[in-house]
Amino acid sequence: MATTAGTTTASTDLRQRLGGFLRAHRERLSPGDVGLPHTSRRRTSGLRREEVAALSGVSVAWYTWLEQGRVDTSRQVLDAVARALRLDDAAHRHALALAGFAPVAADRTASYDPDLRAMLDSWPDSPALLLGPALDILAWNRAYAAVWPDPADLPEERRNLLLLLVGDERHQRVLPDWEPVAVELYRHLRTRADRSPEDESFRRLTGRLDAARPDLAAWWACRSVGDFAPRTVELTPEGAHTPRTYGMTLLLTPRPQDTSILVQTPHAAPGPR
């Protein structure tokens, strides 16, 4: 597969798969979905090819050939087709991959109120994380990096609390009794996912969890939901041998941010008797 002047030369198989992918999405849309009037004379479901072509700024013949897998495309034109078909981020990346382009990286730059980061930094002794709706790690304080593996040392795509708890040995050494926490976090995640069915990040995370720990398939298939309850946990900071007791609480921030803060407050050591 070659890429020249912004256009790829894909294999016949990939061109046909791309065409079938675009056709399936075209057939799912109604005229009203894209702001077009509905007429009673429509004999096929979904949008017509000429409608997608007009919305994309290409000729009907060329768009027809694209669906038939007969032509290569530029990234600019495929982006326009993706917008016309209302593809979400995951579908857009998949279309680009089929066309031979490097997929668009998922936008992991989440905006959040800087006061939330300031709140984390105001807790010098309490490890704390700022989490996105799908439990992606957005920010952390120094106390967290002193106890847990520093998220700064991880690639951004791995900075997900649930993925790290179920699949990373360093995190499991800090929290040996990690399973109850992970189960409760997943139940919390399912609650949020059901409230935002249009958010693809939840579905993507479940797929990543299933790939990372297929032995926990019963967890990922479970539809149980619930709020994360405060608990007491034993954490053994990295490089230490003696566990310490912490209270772990998940604080929810108000919409539209829809983030949460996981804070671990150290319990005072018992005094001498």
Report whether pLDDT(97) > 90: no
Topology match between the domains 2-98 and 114-266? no
In this prediction, residue 13 has a pLDDT band, given cuts at 50, 70 and 90, of confident
Average pLDDT score, the chain:
83
Report whether pLDDT(20) > 50: yes
Q: What is the pLDDT of residue 191?
A: 82
Q: What is the pLDDT of residue 255?
A: 60
Please determine, looking at this structure, whether the domain spanning 2-98 carries the CATH number 1.10.260.40. yes
Report whether pLDDT(159) > 70: yes
Q: What is the pLDDT of residue 105?
A: 46
In this prediction, residue 2 has a pLDDT band, given cuts at 50, 70 and 90, of very low
3 state DSSP class of 110: coil
- Distances in Å between the Cα of 166 and the Cα atoms of 39, 183, 218, 220 are 52, 10, 14, 12
Average confidence (pLDDT) over 45-54: 86
CB 259 within 8 A of CB 253: yes
What strand order describes the sheet that includes 260-266? 137-140, 128-131, 260-266, 244-252, 231-235
CB 81 within 8 A of CB 52: yes
Cα–Cα distance for residue pair 160/2, rounded to 1 Å: 35
Q: What is the pLDDT of residue 4?
A: 35
- Distances in Å between the Cα of 184 and the Cα atoms of 140, 177, 189, 266 are 21, 13, 9, 21
Report whether pLDDT(214) > 90: no
Token digits of residue 206: 């479940």
Q: Could you name the CATH architecture of 114-266?
A: 2-Layer Sandwich (3.30)
Q: What is the pLDDT of residue 87?
A: 86
Any idea where the domains of the chain sit in the sequence?
A: 2-98, 114-266
Token digits of residue 181: 């926490």
Report whether pLDDT(132) > 60: yes
Q: How much is the pTM?
A: 0.59
3 state DSSP class of 251: strand
| Amino acid letter, 31 | P
Using one digit for the tens of pLDDT, what is the confidence trace for 242-273?
999 999 999 988 765 678 999 999 997 654 54
Q: What is the pLDDT of residue 38?
A: 65
